[in-house]
A and B are shown apart, each in its own frame.
Chain A
């Protein structure tokens, strides 16, 4: 069974640029959630994708957008990067069911905005 993978591991961008982060969900999972973890903080929920549609969003501006593909992998896109976007971006996959859906995390992408 393949776990959650994310690419790239590290990324450096300059203010105003755009970035795309990628996540491959664990085998058999159909839902992907994205979290932003600023340095020294706990992760914050950005949004979730289920069946290629956004299924819940946290308090993040529209310049944070995403996609989910038919194979359930996902992308997080951030436009007009700001210095405060520097963070660890975590994705988590799960299998949606009627009860509790455990989320399995990837190793994260460290984004630095200069």
Chain B
């Protein structure tokens, strides 16, 4: 079975600080992608960052970067210089590149950025 686990239900930091959200996953597949999605109160699921499993280099998107440890099946998200607009639920997700490519999501981490 493919599973995604987020062990931090809630996190809170001050504006401009750096925060790291944790995620572990389990799969026996070799060709897969990992994602971090943001879901603000508007409910729209927004893709933050994507990592291809075959790439050793960690993905970065502006203030967002990941630490992908394939052997440990770990995929953490680092948000630098956090902003009030970063307040949201963050979901780690996984998909295998075959068939329907369904997304398997973790339970989510509620991140609050305080002014």
Partners in one complex: yes
Residues on A lying within 8 angstroms of B by beta carbon are 33, 35, 40-45, 48, 55-56, 58, 88, 90, 92, 94, 99-103, 105-108, 110
Q: Chain A nearest CB: distance from B82 CB in Å?
A: 22
* A107-B100 contact in complex given A42-B105, A42-B106, C-beta closer than 8 Å: no
Instruction: Specify which chain A residues have a CB less than 8 angstroms from the CB of B107 in the assembled complex.
Output: 40-42
How many of chain B's residues have a CB under 8 angstroms from any CB in A?
A: 24
Q: Is the CB of A101 within 8 A of B43?
A: no
* A105-B45 contact in complex given A42-B91, A56-B99, A100-B33, C-beta closer than 8 Å: yes
Chain B positions 32 through 47: 1 when the CB is less than 8 Å from some CB of chain A, otherwise 0: 0100000000111111
Q: Is the CB of A45 within 8 A of B108?
A: no
Most buried by B among A88, A103, A106: A103
Q: Is the CB of A42 within 8 A of B108?
A: yes
A33 to B33 alpha-carbon distance, docked (Å): 17
Neighbour of B101 across the interface among A42, A43, A101, CB < 8 A: A101
A33 to B97 alpha-carbon distance, docked (Å): 15
A92 to B91 alpha-carbon distance, docked (Å): 16
**Which residues 74-107 in B have Cβ within 8 Å of A in the complex?**
91, 93, 95, 97, 99-107
Instruction: Specify which chain A residues have a CB less than 8 angstroms from the CB of B100 in the assembled complex.
Output: 33, 45, 48, 55-56
